[in-house]
Chains A and B, each alone.
Chain A
Amino acid sequence: MKCGVVVFPGSNCDHDCYHILSHILGQETHWLWHKEEVNLESFDLVVLPGGFSYGDYLRPGAIAGFSPIMNTITRFAKAGGKVLGICNGFQVLLECGLLPGALIQNQSRKFICKNVFVSIDNPDTDFTRSCGDNRVLEIPIAHHQGSYYIDPHSLSQLEENKQIVMRYCDADGNVSSSSNPNGSVGSVAGVTNEQKNVMGLMPHPERCADPLWPRTDGQIIFQSLISAS
Chain B
Amino acid sequence: MLAQIHITFKDGVLDPQGKTVHHALNDLGYDEVQEVNIGKYMEIKLDSASREEAEIRVREMCEQLLANTVIESFRFTLVDTE
Contacts and interface: CB of A to CB of B under 8 A. Distances in A.
Whether A associates with B in a native complex is yes
The size bracket of the interface on A is 10 to 19
**Best-surrounded residue of B13, B14, B68 (most CB of chain A within 10 A):** B68
A104 B65 contact: no
Interface string A154-186: 000000000000000000000000000001000
Given A101-B70, A109-B20, A62 B65 contact: yes
Contacts of A106: 16
Contacts of A62: 65, 68
A79 interface: no
B66 A104 contact: no
Contacts of B17: 105, 109
B29 interface: no
Given A58-B65, A58-B66, A59-B68, A151 B16 contact: no
Contacts, number: 34
Interface residues of B, number: 12
Interface string A1-44: 00000000000000000000000000000000000000000000
A107 interface: yes
A149 B70 contact: yes
28 contacts: A58-B65, A58-B66, A59-B68, A66-B65, A94-B70, A95-B68, A101-B70, A102-B68, A102-B70, A102-B71, A104-B9, A104-B14, A104-B71, A105-B16, A105-B17, A106-B16, A107-B14, A107-B16, A108-B16, A109-B17, A149-B13, A149-B14, A149-B70, A149-B71, A150-B70, A151-B12, A183-B14, A183-B16
Interface of B: 9, 12-14, 16-17, 20, 65-66, 68, 70-71
